[in-house]
Amino acid sequence: MTELIHLSADALSQKLAAKEVSAVEATQAYLDRIDAVDGAINAFLHVNTDEALLVAAGVDKARTDGDTLHPLAGVPIAVKDLIVTKGQPTTAGSRILEGWQSPYDATVVRKLRAARMPILGKTNLDEFAMGSSTEHSAYGPTRNPWDLDRIPGGSGGGSAAAVAAFEAPLALGTDTGGSIRQPGAVTGTVGVKPTYGGVSRYGAIAMASSLDQIGPVSRTVLDSALLHEVIGGHDPHDSTSLTDPVGALVEAARLGQVEGMRIGVIKELQGEGYQAGVLTRFHESLDLLRSAGAEIVEVSCPNFRYALSAYYLIMPSEASSNLAKYDGVRFGLRVVPEGTPTIERVMGATRAAGFGDEVKRRIILGTYALSAGYYDAYYGSAQKVRTLIQRDFAAAFEQADVLISPTAPTTAFKLGEKLDDPLAMYLNDVATIPANMAGVPGLSLPGGLADEDGLPVGIQLLAPARKDARLYRVGAVLESLLEATWGGPLLAQAPEITGGK
C-alpha cells in the first residue's frame, strides 16, 4: 500500500480507470496513512472516514456498472478547513467556529462531489488563514514533514503537509497573500493560486475578499492542473468570478513547453533578505530553463517594495469587516459574561474569547485603517499602491511571458521562531503578495533543497491574469528538468515520519 499513496493523482486515476486498484483501496490507504502519521503532523482537524469510503464505494460500483466517470473520480482529496462542507465541521482554525457545521457546500466542494472525489477531511490552518506558519491555529500547529520541529508554512500548512506526508494526493487551499504557495515552497509540494475570479470563492470563509482565491495543492504540476480544471469556472454565486472558460490547463501541463518563451526574473524579488541556499537553487532553475530554450530576461517591478505594507492595510481592512459577523448571535461560539448580559457585552465577550491574538491584531489594524480621518492615508493610499503594482506587472508582462522568483525568501523556519515577531513572520510572504494585489496567477513548485539546511526551496512562476495555462506549461518543464537532476520526485528524499501514532 505504500506505493499506492506515493502515486501522483494522475497515476492513481489511471490505475483506477484500469481497475488495477479500487477507489475504496486508495481511500483506505490514505486513511491508514493519516492514522499512522497525523499524530506527528497534525495536518487534519477532522477526518471524514465514513463519508470518504462511502463515496469511494460508490465510484467503484459505478465503474463496475460501466458508468462514465470523471478522471479524478475516486481520487481522494483533503480540504482546507476554511472551505465550508456539509456533513463535516468547518472551524477556520478558530475557537469561534468550534463545532459549527455549514448547512451548505462551497461551490468548489460541490464540484469535488460532482467529480466524485472522496473528501478525506479538513486540514489545519492559521486561524481565519491569518499567518504564515499554521502556528496561529486554535487547534495546535501543523508540523513540517521534512522536519517536525519546523513550520509547514501558512496559512495552508495543513493542506501542504498532508500532501507532503502522503496523507492525501491532492488538497484544496486558499491563497490571500501566499497561503497556498508559501506552504508549497517549504514542504516541497506544488501549489497554485489561480487568477483572481478563476475559481469561485463561494463557501471560502473570507479573510480579504479582494485577495482571497481557492487553488490546488498537489505533489506534481500536472496534478494541480487536473484539480484546477475540476474547481475552476464561472459561478453565479460569486459576482467576482470570471466568465471565461477554465482553459486547457491539463493539456498545457502534459505538453509542457518553454522553448522561445521569455521568462522574466523579477529584480526586486531576490538579493537582500533571501537565504543563500534559496538563491542558489533559484539560479539553477534559471539555468535549466535557459538550457531548455527559454530566454531569461530581467524585469523590474519597482513598486513591489511597497506591496507588503499596502497588503497589511488592505487585508486587515477587509478582514475587520468580514469577521464582524462572528458575534455569537446566529452561529458558533457564544459567551455570556457575568452580570447583565447586554448584546454589546455578549458580542464583546464572544469575540474576546473566540478570536486568537493574530486575528485580533488584524481586526484592530483594519478597523483603524478604515476609520474616518485615517481612511485616505491608509486604505486609500494602499489601494493606490495596488494600482501601481498592477502597472508593474503589466509592464513586466510586456517583456516576459511569465515571471519567476523564489516563492519564499527562506526555507521552513523553526516552530515558535517568529511567533513573537509578527513583522518577521509577515516578511516571509514578500514574494507571494504582489500576485494577490494584482489578481494574477502564481504557481510554486519544488526547486530542490537548500544546501545549508537540507530543506525544500520553492520556485514561483507568475503569469498575466487569465493566462494560468502558462504556469502549467512552464512549470511542467521545469519540474521534469529538476526531477531529472534529482533522479525522481523531491519528496522521495523526505525523511520517514516517526511517532505519528
Partner 1 sequence: MTAVTDEVLSFDEAMEKYDPVLGFEVHVELNTRTKMFSSAPNAFGDVPNTNVTPVDLGLPGVLPVVNGVAVESAIKIGLALNCRIAEKCYFARKNYFYPDTPKNFQTSQFEDPIAYDGSIDIELADGTVFTVEIERAHMEEDAGKLTHMGGATGRIQGAEFSLVDYNRAGVPLIEIVTKPIVGAGSRAPELAKAYVAAIREIVKNLGVSDARMERGNVRCDANVSLKPKGQEKFGTRTETKNVNSLRAVEHAVRYEIQRHAAVLDSGTPIQQETRHWHEDTRSTTSGRPKSDADDYRYFPEPDLVPVVTNDAWIEKLRAELPEPPAERRKRLQADWGYSDAEFRDVVNAGVMSSIEDTVAAGVSAAVARKWWMGEISRRAKLADVEPAELGVTPELIVELNALIESGKINDKLSRDVLDGVLAGEGTPAEVVEKRGLAVVSDDGPLLEAIDGALAAQPDVADKIRGGKVQAVGAIVGGVMKATRGQADAGRVRELILQRLGVEG
List, by residue number, the catalytic residues.
80, 155, 179
**Nearest distance in Å: CB 193, partner 1:** 17
**Nearer residue to partner 1 within complex by CB, 312 or 379:** 379
Minimum CB separation from partner 1 for residue 389, in Å? Answer: 16
Q: CA–CA distance from 261 to each of 251, 338, 403, 469 (Å)?
A: 17, 66, 11, 13
Terminal Cα-to-Cα distance of the chain (whole angstroms):
18
Under a CB-based contact definition with an 8 Å cutoff, are residues 120 and 76 in contact? yes
Tell me how far CA of residue 294 lies from CA of 250, 380, 462, 466, 474, in angstroms. Answer: 21, 40, 15, 21, 9
The distance of Cα 15 from the centroid of its chain, to the nearest Å, equals 27
Q: How far is the CB of 348 from partner 1 (least distance, A)?
A: 9
Residue (149 or 376) nearer to partner 1, CB: 376
Integer-rounded Cα Rg, in Å, for the chain is: 21
Residues that bind partner 1 (CB under 8 A): 83-84, 90, 92, 97, 100, 102-104, 106, 201-206, 208-210, 236-240, 317-318, 320-321, 324-325, 327, 329-331, 343-344, 347, 367, 370-372, 375, 379
| Sheet with strand 214-218: strands edge to edge | 44-47, 119-123, 77-80, 170-174, 214-218, 190-193, 442-449, 456-462, 402-406, 262-266, 295-299
Nearer to partner 1 by C-beta: 313 or 430?
A: 313
Give least dist CB 152 to partner 1, A: 24
**Which is nearer to partner 1, 206 or 217 (by Cβ)?**
206
Closest distance of CB 101 from partner 1, Å = 11
At which residue does the C-alpha cell 507532503 appear? 164
- Determine the Cα–Cα distance for residues 193 and 446; give it in Å rounded to an integer: 15
**H or E element that contains 314:** helix 307-322
Residue 240 CB, nearest distance to partner 1 (Å)?
Answer: 6
Q: Which is nearer to partner 1, 166 or 326 (CB)?
A: 326
Long-range contacts, stretch 388-392, CB < 8 angstroms, 24+ apart = 388/303, 388/306, 389/301, 389/303, 389/304, 389/306, 389/307, 389/310, 389/434, 389/437, 389/438, 390/437, 390/438, 390/439, 391/303, 392/300, 392/301, 392/302, 392/303, 392/304, 392/434
Choice between 365 and 491, CB closer to partner 1: 365
